[in-house]
Amino acid sequence: MKYVKGFTFGFMTGAGKYADEASKQSLKLMKEKTASDTVILALSALQDTAHSEYVDYKGSHMPTDDEVREIISYAQELGLRVFLKPLVNCRNGVWRAHINFFDVDVPCEPKWSNWFESYTDYQLHYAEIAEETGCEMFIIGCEMVQAQRKSDYWRGLIKKVREKYRGLISYNTDKYQEEHVDWWDAVDVISSSGYYPINDWDKQLQRIKKAIEPYNKPFFFAESGCPSRTGSPMVPNDWTLKGTVNLKEQENYYKTMFERLTEENWIRGFGLWDWPSHLYEEKDGASDNGYAVYGKPACEVIYSFYSSIK
């Protein structure tokens, strides 16, 4: 697999704004400012709670199919590879990793079989669009920690996706979970969320490499990044951390990550988190404490690193 110099784009952008001129301008700036060659389009369906069986991908929280096709086409006009990543969130704010049901069906209780039926319908809908538009990769889920143990359901889903889509298939497991997916053999590319503490990369890379080696599959970090706030490099996965704006700490996190991971040629790239579909003014980056890098020193670090990869 060609090295992925990527960014995640458009997370939680709903209908009407996904492919407007502001979004297209943002995507263009993403390529220019970061030297990215790949965009991961993260679509965000909703279910009411972590124990709801129905995945809603047709409401105003989702871009229309035409908008998805339009932004894919525009990305390809820019020369970007496109990975499509339909994920699911809970309306009540509970993280998707906690979506869970009883392993033994109980009458009148929500069931895995019903959830996977709805989730599969969601995935197949976008697998058809990914095939139609020539997306290079389709990522069938993200950080579904509790759901990952239902191997037979995931294998069944992957088989059905392959009937609709001929490109590469991956699944984005969560940090620390790389050895807890026993169906990696069913995908083409292994991926995970690389939100590891700045001082812990050596230990975690050794663990990940050991976990994925038996499968002989390409690996990349489908997500990775760090907010620009004090303390975030030690807990880069914590988007709720309270802290003052600290551009230097974000910059140092990216420098450390790239310097350490460059030595590991089994890592085939990044889908950094994340680039907003509607950007703030570049000058306002100095006061932003989120994951975005636009107008921050970290952006220059990313540009330099991606530009060095041939």
DSSP string, the chain: ---EEEEEE-TT--TTTTTSHHHHHHHHHHHHHH---EEEEEEEEEESSTT----B-SSTTS--HHHHHHHHHHHHHTT-EEEEEEEEEETTS--GGG----SS--TTS--HHHHHHHHHHHHHHHHHHHHHHT-SEEEEEE--TTGGG-HHHHHHHHHHHHHH--SEEEEEEPTT-GGG-TTGGGSSEEEEE----TT-HHHHHHHHHHHHGGG---EEEEE----SBTTGGGSTT-TT----B-HHHHHHHHHHHHHHHTT-TTEEEEEEEEE-SSPPPGGGGGG--SS--TTSHHHHHHHHHHHH--
Q: Is the pTM of this model over 0.85?
A: yes
Q: Which pLDDT score is estimated for 310? A: 86
- The β-bridge relationship of strands 38-47 and 267-275 is unpaired
Under CATH, what is the fold of the domain 4-308?
TIM Barrel (3.20.20)
Which pLDDT score is estimated for 129?
A: 98
pLDDT string in tens for the chain (310-residue length): 999 999 999 999 999 999 999 999 999 999 999 999 999 999 999 999 999 999 999 999 999 999 999 999 999 999 999 999 999 999 999 999 999 999 999 999 999 999 999 999 999 999 999 999 999 999 999 999 999 999 999 999 999 999 999 999 999 999 999 999 999 999 999 999 999 999 999 999 999 999 999 999 999 999 999 999 999 999 999 999 999 999 999 999 999 999 999 889 999 999 999 999 999 999 999 999 999 999 999 999 999 999 999 8
Q: What is the pLDDT of residue 309?
A: 94
pLDDT at 263: 87
| pLDDT (tens digit per residue) in 83-104 | 999 999 999 999 999 999 999 9
**Whole-number pLDDT of residue 11:** 97
Q: What is the DSSP string of 258-284?
A: HHHHTT-TTEEEEEEEEE-SSPPPGGG
